[in-house]
Amino acid sequence: MVGTALTAKVRGDAVRALEERLLAQGKLSRADLERARMLAEEGEGGLVPALLRLGLVSEQGVAEALAEVLGLPMANPVDYPAAPVMEEQLSPRFLRQYKVVPLAAGAERVEVALANPLDDYVIRAIELFSGKAVSCRIGLPAEIDAALDRLYAGGRTEMDQIVGDIVPASDGEREEDVAHLKDMASEAPVIRLVSLIIQRAVEQGASDIHIEPFENELKVRYRVDGLLHEVEAPPPRLFPAVVSRIKIMARLDIAERRLPQDGRIRMRVQGRELDLRVSTFPTMHGESVVMRLLYKDGAVGDFAELGFSERTLADFMACLKQPYGILLVTGPTGSGKTTTLYAALRVLNDPTRKILTVEDPVEYQIPGVNQMQVKPQIGLTFARALRSMVRQDPDVIMIGEMRDLETAEIGVQSALTGHLVLSTLHTNDAPSSITRLLDMGVAGYLVTSVVNGVLAQRLVRRLCPACREAYRPLPELVRRTRLDKVAGREDVTLYRPVGCEACMGTGYHGRIAIMEMLVMTDPLRRLVLEEADARRLAQAAIEGGMTSLYEDGLAKALAGVTSIEEVLRVSQDQGD
């Protein structure tokens, strides 16, 4: 389609249509639209760059809406040329400023990918410089920048260019000087550098950002799908400025480098609301910084998407429908326990129930649920919050974690007095949660009276559906891993990762939980009163029909959801 410059009326109609589409799709609120309009009036380029600059809508969301409104095709990564097109007529500075990449040129027409086809000036300028008509494709700004880096910057990345704009400290200014660090951290290049590190983490779907100083280098690593991988990092000389910028954003003391500090940053990136939990930790070569990215839109409400099998979900829902008692979710840090509890709260959340939570931290906000964050620095601990909470006449109480005997005892008392209590524990499997409560000092007869069930879970990486490859495992592996018992036959098919563009070459995309659900039955209650160990409890639960973590993982491997290597990485065979 020809992308000749739009008339003022057509451009105005297109802007209004873009606004209405983004509002209708829920990608933009009325208040955010007004902010973008104000910025658009002050700057150049109109609404599209304003939306992207404020991070109100993702690049993908804006591009797709523009393509629909204008009837223009999207530019794919393979569409960008291997060598510059019309290099003599169009300067790299112009292309970078207006985010345009010429894709191909003919005798009478040039095809371009651009981020903002509503900018009348850009298309007219290209027509003037080239003497050709212009055909437009909608390009993602990140892909346009990457193409421009490759074609015109001699391989210099966006980070390289930002670093080149940062003036090094003079002889009279020490990198450790607090006043100088504040000045550097407030300069535009350093701000852009930190924003780029966070933006790239969001684009890759990272859950954590690790910035680590070593003697001769600085490392930046993202945790994606549970595993860390190294990415491009700034030079070591900029580490003090980068850390100072993060500390300023998190409202931490930039002069204090000897003690660990914790802070919080709220921001919007790629149209997503982010809550970054910042932790600094002094090491031999400087402060290690870890930022945990909590996506406000990241809570999952679909149990099937979380990884629940039909049997596990039926048992979990049966415990959830009990009018009182305790339902525990257990697993190591980062195993998705909180996400499962939020999914449970969404099921319970209706006008007939009052739900109160006490958490550290509040990761997602749920309309209709009263959520409290503990503040130990002012004495607001889990135990103290729970004592006041029961006087609020709740029906359901969610405790972020049972960390000590005092919290556990109040939770037990709340369950005994007619409340449904949801909470988490840090144990290896479901039966170990029972022994953990006993070890904490909760009496056995109370455990048997109030615990309805325990869900244990681990996260495994999902195989990328676009490139996974089926194969027949060796018979020895099938027997050793007990795949034959789970499948009911020896001739089984498994799947392995391959790697493609969709999964960035890893062979995996996203994560899913493997689970075991222990329901408290009379045989288990007798074993608890006999002070049986976790192994005997596990054997009794399995005899009663519980699917173990390992077996659930094998079932998901046989279904092609994950690989056998992932299952073996996070769980082990508890069978004979």
Q: How many CA atoms lie within 13 A of 325 on its CB side?
A: 18
Q: Three-state SS for 179?
A: helix
> For the chain, what percent of residues have pLDDT higher than 90?
39
- Token code pair at residue 356: 């109160």
| pLDDT band for position 297 (cuts 50, 70, 90) | low
The CA distance from 62 to 239, in Å, is: 34
| pLDDT band for position 370 (cuts 50, 70, 90) | very high
pLDDT score, position 306? 87
* Concatenated DSSP letters of 443-485: -HHHHHHHEEEEEEEEEEEEEPTTT-EEEPPPHHHHHHHTHHH
Higher pLDDT residue, 390 or 576? 390
| pLDDT band for position 3 (cuts 50, 70, 90) | very low
Sign of the C-alpha dihedral computed for residues 147, 150, 152 and 153 taken in this order:
positive
Higher pLDDT residue, 2 or 561? 561
Q: Does the pLDDT of residue 187 top 80, yes or no?
A: no
pLDDT score, position 298? 60
| pLDDT band for position 375 (cuts 50, 70, 90) | confident
| pLDDT band for position 165 (cuts 50, 70, 90) | low
Nearest CA among 120, 137, 18 for reference residue 69: 18
The CA distance from 254 to 272, in Å, is: 28
Q: Which residues contact 154 (CB under 8 A, 6 or more apart)?
A: none
Span 14-32, pLDDT tens digits: 888 888 888 888 888 888 8
Q: Does the pLDDT of residue 68 top 80, yes or no?
A: yes
Span 94-121, pLDDT tens digits: 888 888 999 988 888 889 998 888 887 8
Q: How many CA atoms lie within 13 A of 94 on its CB side?
A: 14
What's the one-letter identity of residue 92?
P
Look up the pTM and report it.
0.72
Q: Is 471 exposed, middle or buried (0-12, 13-18, 19+ CB in 10 A)?
A: exposed
List, in sequence order, every residue forming a beta bridge with 289; answer none if it has no partner: 211, 280
pLDDT score, position 182? 75
Taking residues 127-132, report their average pLDDT: 85
Span 415-470, pLDDT tens digits: 999 999 999 999 989 999 999 999 999 999 999 999 999 999 999 999 998 899 99
Nearest CA among 225, 249, 250, 242 for reference residue 288: 242
Q: Which residues contact 331 (CB under 8 A, 6 or more apart)?
A: 337, 424, 426, 427, 456, 457, 458
pLDDT score, position 344? 93
Span 496-532, pLDDT tens digits: 999 887 787 889 988 999 999 999 999 999 999 998 9
The CA distance from 470 to 535, in Å, is: 35
- Token code pair at residue 163: 């670093």
| pLDDT band for position 198 (cuts 50, 70, 90) | very high
